[in-house]
């Protein structure tokens, strides 16, 4: 670079700095904020996002497509709309916690007492849920829960076996009928050890006998995934 070019460049830099120094600071700040809002999507908490997989579903906005991100709040609203009848009948509860969106399916109407076989109503309900879940890329954890009354039958020696079998039967149905990807699901049985409410009455025990479907948020899903083998 020649000396003359260097001097010209330095003059341009100082002229720019002088111009910036004379700009009204408040107006400049407003302009920067407006530019950021126009070109950057609104930030959101990572735990309140869901990764969409192969198919766009009704939970997506009109401009969203495969690979877009949707808030878990949007997913919760969509599930609440689709399961309005079951929620009004107190067969299903939907809430959001630190792990993601939790769909609690009560035992009543879904399983016979002491049984892990899905009823016809439970199958219809799971198909409704499956039409939403098949369109997302998040991990799904299915948990079986019981009340604190011990069970000992020819098929189930304890509540551990009952809760685990119910969870795996739900997964088997979703894989077979809703065509969920098998690498996106996992099952767990907790028996009576994670009650929703205290087992102090028949009504509370009824709430505790349930299967929870947890659509994990991206952060929780990564933490819960097993390590990759070498």
* Inter-residue contact 185 to 175 (CB < 8 Å): yes
- Residues with Cβ within 8 Å of 1's Cβ and at least 6 positions away in sequence, in order, are 9
Q: Which helix (H) or strand (E) holds 211?
A: strand 210-216
β-bridge pairing 140-145 and 185-189: parallel
Q: Which residues of the chain have pLDDT under 70?
A: 1-2, 4-7, 13-71, 221-230
pLDDT at 28: 47
pLDDT at 9: 72
How many distinct helices (H) and strands (E) make up the chain? 8, 7
pLDDT at 24: 54
3-state SS, 57-70, equals CCCCCCCCCCCCEE
pLDDT at 15: 63
pLDDT at 96: 92
Count CA atoms closer than 13 A to 209's CA, side-chain side. 23
Instruction: Please tell me the pTM assigned to this model.
Output: 0.69
Q: Can you give the C-alpha Rg of the chain in angstroms? A: 26
pLDDT at 62: 37
pLDDT at 53: 37
């Amino acid at each position: 670079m020649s000396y003359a070019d260097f001097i010209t460049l330095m003059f341009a830099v100082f002229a720019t700095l002088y111009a910036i120094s004379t700009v009204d600071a408040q107006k400049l700040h407003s302009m920067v904020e407006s530019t950021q809002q126009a070109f950057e999507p609104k930030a959101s908490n990572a735990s309140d996002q869901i990764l969409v997989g192969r198919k766009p579903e009704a939970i997506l906005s009109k401009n969203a497509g495969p690979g877009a991100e949707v808030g878990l709040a949007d997913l919760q609203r969509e599930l609440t709309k689709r399961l309005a009848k079951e929620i009004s009948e107190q067969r299903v509860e939907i809430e959001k916690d630190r792990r993601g969106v939790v769909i609690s399916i009560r035992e009543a109407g879904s399983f016979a007492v002491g049984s892990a076989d899905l009823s016809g109503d439970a199958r219809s309900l799971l198909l409704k849920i499956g039409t939403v879940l098949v369109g997302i890329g998040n991990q799904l954890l299915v948990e079986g829960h019981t009340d604190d009354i011990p069970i000992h039958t020819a098929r189930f020696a304890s509540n551990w076996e009952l809760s685990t079998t119910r969870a795996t039967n739900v997964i088997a149905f979703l894989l077979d009928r809703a065509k969920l990807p098998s690498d996106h699901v996992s099952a767990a049985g907790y028996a009576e050890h994670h009650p929703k409410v205290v087992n102090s009455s028949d009504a509370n025990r009824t709430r505790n006998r349930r299967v929870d479907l947890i659509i994990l948020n991206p952060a929780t899903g990564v933490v819960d995934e097993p390590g990759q083998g070498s």
